[in-house]
Amino acid sequence: MNPTDIFEALDALAKAPFDPAEFGFSFAEATDNAQATVSKLRVGSLNRSDIEGGVLMNLKFHYAPADALGVEATLDALKGSKRTAKHKPAILIATDGETVAAEHWKSGERLPWHWAPAAPSSAEAA
């Protein structure tokens, strides 16, 4: 998974309504993982995350929805996770649907990202 793949996936997800419970699985789909792989993540047989609501796909990514402490604290929790250390995902992602913090785990390099929320549907706007 290269930075372009990550940016494209985040861009596609930013155009959809944010669902913290689905974001990790949607990210897996957006980065061209097989549907069978995403299904196994959903049922937990491939999801290695030790963070509530998180999704950890070996060597690929570790996502967690931001809690009341915020995106940066959630990213710190991902960095400090024993499962992150064990499974070595390429990218760590924390978001609350407004702010995204994404970091390359090994280098600590931050991926600059500004969340552009989806426009309300015509039904929501009415």
Query: What would the 3-class secondary structure string for the chain be?
Result: CCHHHHHHHHHHHHCCCCCCCCHHHHHHHHCCCCHHHHHHHHHCCCCCCCCCCCEEECCCEEEEECECCEHHHHHHHHHHCHHHHHHCCCEEEEECCCCEEEEECCCCCEECCCCCCCCCCHHHHC
Residue 84's pLDDT is 96
Among residues 18, 63, 14, which one has the least CA distance to residue 38? 63
* Residue 4 confidence (pLDDT): 82
- Report if residue 121 sits inside a domain: no
In a domain, 23, yes or no: yes
Residue at 126 is within a domain: no
Residue 123 lies in a domain: no
Domain that holds residue 110: 3-114
Mean pLDDT by groups of 10 residues along the chain of 126 residues:
83 89 96 95 95 95 91 95 96 92 89 59 48
Q: Is residue 125 part of a domain?
A: no
Domain count, the chain: 1
In this predicted structure, what is the pLDDT of residue 79? Answer: 96
Domain presence at residue 119: no
pLDDT the model gives residue 125: 47
Does residue 104 form part of some domain? yes
Q: Is the pTM of this model over 0.75?
A: yes
Q: Is residue 82 part of a domain?
A: yes
